[in-house]
C-alpha cells in the first residue's frame, strides 16, 4: 500500500515537470465534476448482481492545458440477482448491492478545444456490500473491498470559462475481489474554478 501511495504522490509533480519541459506555462485550474452513472457488471459479478445506477464525483487540478490529476469518488446501487434459492440468496432477497470506489485519477485531453476527447486511468479502493434481510451468523451483510483500477475514455465540453459537461465510459476492475469488470457510462457537469 505504501508503494501505491508513493507512486500517486510522485505523479503530480512529474506531470508538472513534464509540462514545463514541453514548454507549457504554469497552469493551475481546479476542476469539479458531478455525474449520473449507469453501471453494468460482467464476469462473476453478473452472477450475483444486475445493472444499476449511481453517481460519480471528481475533484482535480489541471496541471497543463491537457493533463489533469485528482481524486475520484463513486457510489452505485445494483440490483441483487436471486436466480437460485440458497442460503445466500434467501438472506439478500429484496436488497440491493452497494458499490463504492475512491481513489486517484489522471486524465489526458487530446485536444485543447471546446469539445475534447480524453483518456484517463485511475487507481484506488473498490468495494461492494449487500445487506441481509435478517441477521445471519451475527452479521448484517456481506461485502469485500480491494485495490482496483480503471480505464476511461470520454468527451469534455467546455461551454465557457467556468461551466462545461463531461461524458465518459469507465471500465473498472478489482482483481483481488473477483473475476469481472464493471462498465460505467457517466454524464454530468464539470466546473472550472
The domains of the chain, with CATH numbers, are 2-192 (2.40.160.20)
What is the separation, in whole angstroms, between the first and last Cα of the chain? Answer: 32
Separation of alpha carbons 80 and 111, rounded Å: 41
DSSP helix, strand, coil percent of the chain (3-state; round to 5):
15, 60, 20
Q: How confident is the model at residue 135 (pLDDT cuts 50, 70, 90)?
A: low
Question: Looking at residue 85, what is its pLDDT?
Answer: 55
The string of pLDDT tens digits covering residues 65-101 is 899 999 999 999 998 876 655 665 666 667 788 999 9
| 3-class SS of residue 63 | coil
Question: 5 phi and psi, to 5 degrees?
Answer: -65, -40
Please compute, for residue 175, the number of CA atoms within 13 A of its CA located in the half-sphere on the CB side.
2
* For the chain, percent of residues with pLDDT exceeding 90: 56
Q: Which of the residue ranges 20-29, 44-53, 124-133, 167-176 has the most confident prediction, judged by mean pLDDT?
A: 167-176
Amino acid at each position: 500500500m505504501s508503494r501505491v501511495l508513493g507512486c500517486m504522490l510522485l505523479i503530480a509533480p512529474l506531470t508538472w515537470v513534464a509540462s514545463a519541459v514541453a514548454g507549457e506555462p504554469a497552469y493551475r485550474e481546479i476542476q469539479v465534476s458531478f455525474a449520473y452513472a449507469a453501471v453494468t457488471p460482467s464476469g462473476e459479478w453478473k452472477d450475483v448482481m444486475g445493472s444499476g445506477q449511481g453517481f460519480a464525483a471528481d475533484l482535480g487540478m489541471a496541471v497543463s492545458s491537457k493533463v489533469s490529476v485528482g481524486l475520484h469518488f463513486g457510489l452505485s446501487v445494483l440490483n441483487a440477482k436471486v436466480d437460485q434459492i440458497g442460503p445466500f440468496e434467501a438472506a439478500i432477497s429484496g436488497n440491493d448491492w452497494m458499490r463504492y470506489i475512491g481513489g486517484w485519477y489522471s486524465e489526458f485531453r487530446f485536444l485543447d478545444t471546446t469539445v475534447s476527447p480524453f483518456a484517463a486511468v485511475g487507481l484506488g479502493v473498490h468495494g461492494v456490500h449487500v445487506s441481509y434481510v435478517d441477521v445471519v451468523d451475527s452479521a448484517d451483510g456481506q461485502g469485500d473491498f480491494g485495490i482496483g483500477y480503471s480505464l476511461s475514455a470520454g468527451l469534455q465540453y467546455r461551454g465557457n470559462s467556468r461551466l462545461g459537461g463531461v461524458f465518459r465510459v469507465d471500465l473498472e476492475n478489482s482483481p483481488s475481489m473477483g473475476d469481472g469488470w464493471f462498465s460505467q457510462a457517466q454524464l454530468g457537469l464539470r466546473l472550472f474554478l
